[in-house]
Copies of this chain bind each other. A is one copy, B any other.
Amino acid sequence: MFAPLQNDTFLRACLRQPTPYTPVWLMRQAGRYLPEYRATRARAGSFMGLATNTDYATEVTLQPLERYALDAAILFSDILTVPDAMGLGLSFALGEGPKFAHPVRDEAAVERLQVPDMAQLRYVFDAVTSIRRALNGRVPLIGFAGSPWTLACYMVEGGGSSDYRLVKTLLYSRPDLMHRILAVNADAVALYLNLQIEAGAQAVMLFDSWGGVLADGAFQQFSLAYSQRVLRQLKKEHGGVRIPHLLFTKGGGLWLEEMAALQPDVLGLDWTVNLGQARQRVGDRVALQGNLDPNVLFASPAQIRAEVARLLHSWGPPGEAGNTGNGHIFNLGHGISQHTPPDHVGVLVEAVHELSTQARGTP
Protein backbone atom coordinates (compact mmCIF):
# COMPACT_ATOMS: atom_id res chain seq x y z
CA MET A 1 0.00 0.00 0.00
CA PHE A 2 2.83 2.42 0.89
CA ALA A 3 6.27 2.81 -0.66
CA PRO A 4 9.21 1.26 1.20
CA LEU A 5 10.99 3.52 3.69
CA GLN A 6 14.23 5.06 2.40
CA ASN A 7 15.42 6.76 5.60
CA ASP A 8 14.85 4.76 8.77
CA THR A 9 17.31 6.57 11.05
CA PHE A 10 14.51 8.05 13.15
CA LEU A 11 12.78 4.71 13.69
CA ARG A 12 16.07 2.95 14.41
CA ALA A 13 17.05 5.63 16.93
CA CYS A 14 13.66 5.24 18.64
CA LEU A 15 14.52 1.58 19.20
CA ARG A 16 18.08 2.45 20.29
CA GLN A 17 19.59 0.72 17.27
CA PRO A 18 22.83 2.08 15.75
CA THR A 19 22.51 4.83 13.16
CA PRO A 20 25.22 6.57 11.11
CA TYR A 21 24.23 9.97 12.47
CA THR A 22 21.74 11.51 14.92
CA PRO A 23 18.33 11.89 13.27
CA VAL A 24 16.59 15.23 13.69
CA TRP A 25 13.08 16.61 13.42
CA LEU A 26 11.53 19.65 15.09
CA MET A 27 8.33 19.98 17.05
CA ARG A 28 5.94 22.18 15.03
CA GLN A 29 8.30 21.97 12.03
CA ALA A 30 5.32 22.64 9.74
CA GLY A 31 4.31 26.01 11.03
CA ARG A 32 4.09 29.76 10.96
CA TYR A 33 7.83 30.47 10.67
CA LEU A 34 7.60 29.18 7.06
CA PRO A 35 6.27 31.69 4.50
CA GLU A 36 4.86 28.81 2.40
CA TYR A 37 2.88 27.65 5.47
CA ARG A 38 1.45 31.12 5.96
CA ALA A 39 0.45 31.19 2.29
CA THR A 40 -1.39 27.87 2.51
CA ARG A 41 -3.06 28.91 5.75
CA ALA A 42 -4.23 32.12 4.10
CA ARG A 43 -5.80 30.04 1.33
CA ALA A 44 -7.43 27.71 3.89
CA GLY A 45 -8.88 30.69 5.77
CA SER A 46 -8.29 29.34 9.29
CA PHE A 47 -6.25 26.92 11.32
CA MET A 48 -9.04 24.33 11.45
CA GLY A 49 -9.64 24.91 7.75
CA LEU A 50 -6.06 23.70 7.25
CA ALA A 51 -6.25 20.83 9.67
CA THR A 52 -9.56 19.42 8.43
CA ASN A 53 -8.66 19.50 4.72
CA THR A 54 -6.68 16.47 3.60
CA ASP A 55 -4.92 18.24 0.76
CA TYR A 56 -3.92 21.26 2.83
CA ALA A 57 -2.78 19.09 5.76
CA THR A 58 -0.69 17.01 3.37
CA GLU A 59 0.78 20.08 1.71
CA VAL A 60 1.90 21.79 4.92
CA THR A 61 3.20 18.57 6.49
CA LEU A 62 5.60 18.17 3.57
CA GLN A 63 6.69 21.82 3.34
CA PRO A 64 9.59 21.64 5.84
CA LEU A 65 10.87 18.45 4.15
CA GLU A 66 11.30 20.38 0.91
CA ARG A 67 13.61 22.82 2.64
CA TYR A 68 15.49 20.71 5.17
CA ALA A 69 16.92 17.18 5.37
CA LEU A 70 14.66 16.28 8.29
CA ASP A 71 14.53 12.62 9.30
CA ALA A 72 10.82 12.45 10.12
CA ALA A 73 7.53 14.11 9.23
CA ILE A 74 4.82 14.77 11.78
CA LEU A 75 1.12 14.89 10.98
CA PHE A 76 -0.13 18.46 10.72
CA SER A 77 -3.00 18.65 13.19
CA ASP A 78 -3.79 19.85 16.71
CA ILE A 79 -4.10 18.06 20.04
CA LEU A 80 -7.55 19.60 20.56
CA THR A 81 -9.23 17.67 17.72
CA VAL A 82 -10.22 15.03 20.30
CA PRO A 83 -12.12 17.30 22.75
CA ASP A 84 -13.58 19.08 19.73
CA ALA A 85 -15.02 15.73 18.61
CA MET A 86 -16.48 15.39 22.14
CA GLY A 87 -18.68 18.37 21.31
CA LEU A 88 -16.82 21.12 23.19
CA GLY A 89 -16.88 23.53 20.26
CA LEU A 90 -13.26 24.35 19.37
CA SER A 91 -12.34 27.59 17.66
CA PHE A 92 -9.12 29.49 17.09
CA ALA A 93 -9.62 33.23 17.30
CA LEU A 94 -6.87 34.99 15.38
CA GLY A 95 -3.81 35.57 17.59
CA GLU A 96 -5.67 34.36 20.67
CA GLY A 97 -5.09 30.63 20.79
CA PRO A 98 -7.74 27.92 21.14
CA LYS A 99 -11.12 28.43 22.80
CA PHE A 100 -13.84 25.96 23.74
CA ALA A 101 -17.41 27.23 23.57
CA HIS A 102 -18.49 24.59 26.12
CA PRO A 103 -15.81 24.10 28.75
CA VAL A 104 -16.20 21.22 31.22
CA ARG A 105 -16.67 22.80 34.63
CA ASP A 106 -19.45 21.04 36.51
CA GLU A 107 -20.64 17.57 37.33
CA ALA A 108 -23.26 17.55 34.57
CA ALA A 109 -20.70 18.48 31.92
CA VAL A 110 -18.35 15.79 33.19
CA GLU A 111 -21.15 13.21 33.12
CA ARG A 112 -21.92 14.05 29.50
CA LEU A 113 -18.35 13.36 28.36
CA GLN A 114 -17.87 10.26 26.27
CA VAL A 115 -15.28 8.74 24.01
CA PRO A 116 -16.33 10.37 20.73
CA ASP A 117 -17.36 8.52 17.61
CA MET A 118 -14.08 8.31 15.71
CA ALA A 119 -15.95 8.90 12.46
CA GLN A 120 -15.89 12.57 13.43
CA LEU A 121 -12.10 12.44 13.31
CA ARG A 122 -11.97 10.76 9.94
CA TYR A 123 -10.36 13.91 8.49
CA VAL A 124 -7.33 13.18 10.66
CA PHE A 125 -7.00 9.55 9.59
CA ASP A 126 -7.50 10.54 5.96
CA ALA A 127 -4.75 13.13 6.33
CA VAL A 128 -2.42 10.49 7.81
CA THR A 129 -2.96 8.20 4.84
CA SER A 130 -2.63 11.02 2.34
CA ILE A 131 0.59 12.29 3.92
CA ARG A 132 2.06 8.81 4.12
CA ARG A 133 1.38 8.36 0.41
CA ALA A 134 2.80 11.77 -0.46
CA LEU A 135 5.93 11.06 1.57
CA ASN A 136 6.47 8.10 -0.72
CA GLY A 137 8.91 6.51 1.74
CA ARG A 138 11.23 9.52 2.15
CA VAL A 139 11.02 9.55 5.94
CA PRO A 140 8.65 8.03 8.48
CA LEU A 141 5.44 9.75 9.56
CA ILE A 142 4.77 10.47 13.24
CA GLY A 143 1.18 10.62 14.51
CA PHE A 144 0.34 12.30 17.78
CA ALA A 145 -2.18 13.23 20.44
CA GLY A 146 -2.35 15.32 23.59
CA SER A 147 -2.08 13.50 26.92
CA PRO A 148 -5.30 13.02 28.92
CA TRP A 149 -4.15 15.63 31.49
CA THR A 150 -3.11 18.18 28.87
CA LEU A 151 -6.44 17.85 27.09
CA ALA A 152 -8.23 18.20 30.44
CA CYS A 153 -6.41 21.50 31.08
CA TYR A 154 -7.90 23.00 27.92
CA MET A 155 -11.29 21.35 28.43
CA VAL A 156 -11.73 22.77 31.94
CA GLU A 157 -10.00 26.13 31.44
CA GLY A 158 -11.77 26.60 28.10
CA GLY A 159 -8.49 27.65 26.49
CA GLY A 160 -4.91 28.42 27.50
CA SER A 161 -4.11 29.45 31.08
CA SER A 162 -1.30 31.06 33.02
CA ASP A 163 -2.12 29.55 36.42
CA TYR A 164 -4.33 26.50 35.72
CA ARG A 165 -6.55 27.66 38.53
CA LEU A 166 -9.82 26.21 37.27
CA VAL A 167 -8.47 22.80 36.35
CA LYS A 168 -6.45 22.51 39.56
CA THR A 169 -9.37 23.67 41.67
CA LEU A 170 -11.40 20.84 40.14
CA LEU A 171 -8.52 18.42 40.68
CA TYR A 172 -8.10 19.27 44.37
CA SER A 173 -11.75 19.80 45.25
CA ARG A 174 -13.42 17.12 43.08
CA PRO A 175 -10.78 14.50 42.26
CA ASP A 176 -13.61 12.08 41.39
CA LEU A 177 -14.71 14.32 38.51
CA MET A 178 -11.15 14.83 37.36
CA HIS A 179 -10.54 11.08 37.28
CA ARG A 180 -13.64 10.62 35.14
CA ILE A 181 -12.51 13.28 32.63
CA LEU A 182 -9.06 11.70 32.44
CA ALA A 183 -10.40 8.17 31.99
CA VAL A 184 -12.59 9.26 29.08
CA ASN A 185 -9.70 11.22 27.58
CA ALA A 186 -7.31 8.30 27.92
CA ASP A 187 -9.60 5.85 26.18
CA ALA A 188 -10.39 8.37 23.45
CA VAL A 189 -6.71 9.16 22.87
CA ALA A 190 -5.74 5.49 22.75
CA LEU A 191 -8.42 4.76 20.17
CA TYR A 192 -7.43 7.88 18.20
CA LEU A 193 -3.74 6.94 18.10
CA ASN A 194 -4.46 3.34 17.15
CA LEU A 195 -6.55 4.56 14.23
CA GLN A 196 -3.69 6.87 13.20
CA ILE A 197 -1.42 3.82 13.25
CA GLU A 198 -3.89 1.89 11.09
CA ALA A 199 -4.08 4.84 8.72
CA GLY A 200 -0.32 4.89 8.26
CA ALA A 201 1.45 6.55 11.20
CA GLN A 202 4.82 4.82 11.74
CA ALA A 203 5.39 6.16 15.27
CA VAL A 204 3.09 7.94 17.73
CA MET A 205 3.88 10.67 20.22
CA LEU A 206 1.90 11.63 23.32
CA PHE A 207 2.31 15.34 24.18
CA ASP A 208 1.93 15.91 27.91
CA SER A 209 2.52 19.61 27.40
CA TRP A 210 1.14 20.64 30.78
CA GLY A 211 2.19 17.71 32.99
CA GLY A 212 4.95 19.94 34.36
CA VAL A 213 2.51 22.37 35.95
CA LEU A 214 1.36 19.71 38.42
CA ALA A 215 2.71 19.21 41.90
CA ASP A 216 4.73 16.13 42.65
CA GLY A 217 2.16 13.55 43.71
CA ALA A 218 -0.59 15.12 41.63
CA PHE A 219 1.52 14.53 38.52
CA GLN A 220 1.70 10.81 39.19
CA GLN A 221 -2.02 10.49 39.94
CA PHE A 222 -3.50 12.79 37.32
CA SER A 223 -1.02 12.85 34.45
CA LEU A 224 1.28 9.84 34.54
CA ALA A 225 -1.39 7.27 35.44
CA TYR A 226 -3.46 8.31 32.44
CA SER A 227 -0.51 8.47 30.05
CA GLN A 228 0.03 4.90 31.18
CA ARG A 229 -3.61 4.06 30.45
CA VAL A 230 -3.05 5.34 26.91
CA LEU A 231 0.29 3.61 26.35
CA ARG A 232 -1.02 0.26 27.56
CA GLN A 233 -3.75 0.29 24.93
CA LEU A 234 -1.54 1.28 22.00
CA LYS A 235 -0.61 -1.09 19.21
CA LYS A 236 3.03 -2.05 19.48
CA GLU A 237 3.23 -3.05 15.85
CA HIS A 238 1.30 -2.79 12.63
CA GLY A 239 1.66 -5.06 9.62
CA GLY A 240 4.56 -6.78 11.37
CA VAL A 241 6.49 -3.50 11.85
CA ARG A 242 7.27 -2.01 15.28
CA ILE A 243 5.50 1.29 15.99
CA PRO A 244 7.60 3.30 18.48
CA HIS A 245 5.78 5.20 21.23
CA LEU A 246 7.12 8.60 22.28
CA LEU A 247 6.16 10.36 25.53
CA PHE A 248 7.02 14.00 26.22
CA THR A 249 6.19 15.81 29.43
CA LYS A 250 7.27 19.45 29.21
CA GLY A 251 8.74 20.34 32.60
CA GLY A 252 8.89 16.67 33.57
CA GLY A 253 12.65 16.39 34.08
CA LEU A 254 12.28 15.44 37.73
CA TRP A 255 10.09 12.45 36.85
CA LEU A 256 12.10 10.75 34.09
CA GLU A 257 12.47 7.47 35.97
CA GLU A 258 8.73 7.27 36.56
CA MET A 259 8.00 8.05 32.92
CA ALA A 260 10.54 5.48 31.74
CA ALA A 261 8.76 2.90 33.90
CA LEU A 262 5.74 3.24 31.59
CA GLN A 263 7.98 1.68 28.93
CA PRO A 264 7.55 4.09 26.05
CA ASP A 265 10.28 3.65 23.45
CA VAL A 266 11.31 7.31 23.62
CA LEU A 267 11.14 10.08 26.23
CA GLY A 268 11.10 13.67 25.02
CA LEU A 269 13.13 16.15 27.06
CA ASP A 270 12.85 19.89 27.39
CA TRP A 271 15.95 22.08 27.52
CA THR A 272 16.19 22.23 31.32
CA VAL A 273 17.36 18.61 31.37
CA ASN A 274 21.03 17.74 31.02
CA LEU A 275 21.15 15.15 28.26
CA GLY A 276 24.07 13.21 29.72
CA GLN A 277 22.42 13.03 33.13
CA ALA A 278 19.12 11.94 31.58
CA ARG A 279 20.98 9.23 29.70
CA GLN A 280 22.54 8.01 32.95
CA ARG A 281 19.16 8.04 34.69
CA VAL A 282 17.04 6.27 32.05
CA GLY A 283 19.05 5.84 28.85
CA ASP A 284 19.39 2.09 29.34
CA ARG A 285 15.62 1.76 29.06
CA VAL A 286 14.45 4.39 26.54
CA ALA A 287 15.75 6.49 23.70
CA LEU A 288 15.86 10.24 24.38
CA GLN A 289 14.56 13.02 22.15
CA GLY A 290 15.50 16.66 22.48
CA ASN A 291 16.38 19.13 23.72
CA LEU A 292 17.66 22.41 22.29
CA ASP A 293 16.13 25.67 23.47
CA PRO A 294 14.20 26.95 20.40
CA ASN A 295 15.58 30.42 21.15
CA VAL A 296 19.04 29.24 20.10
CA LEU A 297 17.69 29.57 16.55
CA PHE A 298 17.74 33.36 16.95
CA ALA A 299 21.53 33.37 17.31
CA SER A 300 24.04 33.41 14.44
CA PRO A 301 24.80 30.29 12.35
CA ALA A 302 28.17 29.91 14.11
CA GLN A 303 26.49 30.08 17.50
CA ILE A 304 23.79 27.60 16.46
CA ARG A 305 26.49 25.15 15.39
CA ALA A 306 28.31 25.64 18.69
CA GLU A 307 25.14 24.91 20.69
CA VAL A 308 24.43 21.82 18.56
CA ALA A 309 27.98 20.62 19.18
CA ARG A 310 27.59 21.23 22.92
CA LEU A 311 24.33 19.29 23.04
CA LEU A 312 25.66 16.35 21.01
CA HIS A 313 28.77 16.27 23.17
CA SER A 314 26.70 16.25 26.37
CA TRP A 315 25.35 12.81 25.40
CA GLY A 316 28.69 11.41 26.54
CA PRO A 317 30.93 8.55 25.38
CA PRO A 318 29.68 5.51 23.44
CA GLY A 319 27.44 3.08 25.30
CA GLU A 320 27.15 -0.67 24.98
CA ALA A 321 25.80 -0.35 21.45
CA GLY A 322 29.04 1.28 20.32
CA ASN A 323 28.73 4.57 18.52
CA THR A 324 28.33 7.82 20.42
CA GLY A 325 24.84 9.20 20.15
CA ASN A 326 22.94 5.96 19.51
CA GLY A 327 19.51 6.30 21.13
CA HIS A 328 19.42 10.07 20.69
CA ILE A 329 16.94 11.84 18.44
CA PHE A 330 17.74 15.52 18.05
CA ASN A 331 14.84 17.93 18.49
CA LEU A 332 13.99 21.18 20.19
CA GLY A 333 12.76 21.15 23.79
CA HIS A 334 9.47 22.72 22.68
CA GLY A 335 7.77 23.83 19.46
CA ILE A 336 9.72 26.08 17.13
CA SER A 337 8.93 29.80 17.47
CA GLN A 338 6.93 31.48 14.73
CA HIS A 339 9.62 34.19 14.66
CA THR A 340 12.45 31.79 13.70
CA PRO A 341 14.44 32.73 10.58
CA PRO A 342 13.91 29.77 8.19
CA ASP A 343 17.57 29.77 7.11
CA HIS A 344 18.63 29.11 10.66
CA VAL A 345 16.64 25.88 10.71
CA GLY A 346 18.71 24.72 7.75
CA VAL A 347 21.90 25.53 9.67
CA LEU A 348 20.62 23.49 12.61
CA VAL A 349 19.68 20.40 10.59
CA GLU A 350 22.97 20.42 8.69
CA ALA A 351 24.95 20.88 11.90
CA VAL A 352 23.22 17.93 13.58
CA HIS A 353 23.92 15.64 10.64
CA GLU A 354 27.48 16.77 10.05
CA LEU A 355 28.64 16.97 13.65
CA SER A 356 26.96 13.73 14.73
CA THR A 357 28.45 11.86 11.76
CA GLN A 358 31.88 13.14 12.83
CA ALA A 359 31.26 12.22 16.47
CA ARG A 360 30.45 8.64 15.50
CA GLY A 361 33.77 8.49 13.68
CA THR A 362 34.87 5.47 11.67
CA PRO A 363 33.56 2.19 13.03
Interface residues of A (CB under 8 A from B): 163-165, 168-169, 171-173, 212, 214-219, 251, 253-254, 271-275, 291-293, 295-296, 298-300, 303, 307, 310, 314, 333, 337, 339
Contacts and interface: CB of A to CB of B under 8 A. Distances in A.
Contacts of A219: 272
Given A172-B298, A333-B215, A254 B251 contact: no
20 contacts: A164-B295, A165-B337, A168-B296, A168-B298, A171-B295, A173-B299, A173-B300, A212-B272, A215-B271, A215-B272, A215-B333, A216-B271, A216-B272, A216-B274, A217-B310, A218-B293, A251-B251, A253-B253, A253-B254, A254-B274
Contacts of A314: 217
Given A293-B168, A293-B215, A293-B218, A273 B254 contact: yes
B295 A216 contact: no
A293 B275 CA distance: 28
A151 to B, nearest CB: 19
A307 B169 CA distance: 13
Contacts of A337: 163, 165
A33 to B, nearest CB: 12
A303 B173 contact: yes
A236 to B, nearest CB: 31
A329 B169 CA distance: 24
A209 to B, nearest CB: 14
Contacts of A298: 165, 168-169, 172-173
Contacts of A171: 295
Given A214-B272, A216-B272, A272-B216, A295 B251 contact: no
A273 B163 contact: no
B172 A307 contact: yes
Contact of A272 (B169, B251, B275): B251
Contacts of A212: 272
A267 to B, nearest CB: 14
Given A214-B293, A251-B272, 8 more contacts: A165-B295, A165-B339, A172-B293, A172-B303, A214-B272, A215-B272, A215-B333, A217-B314
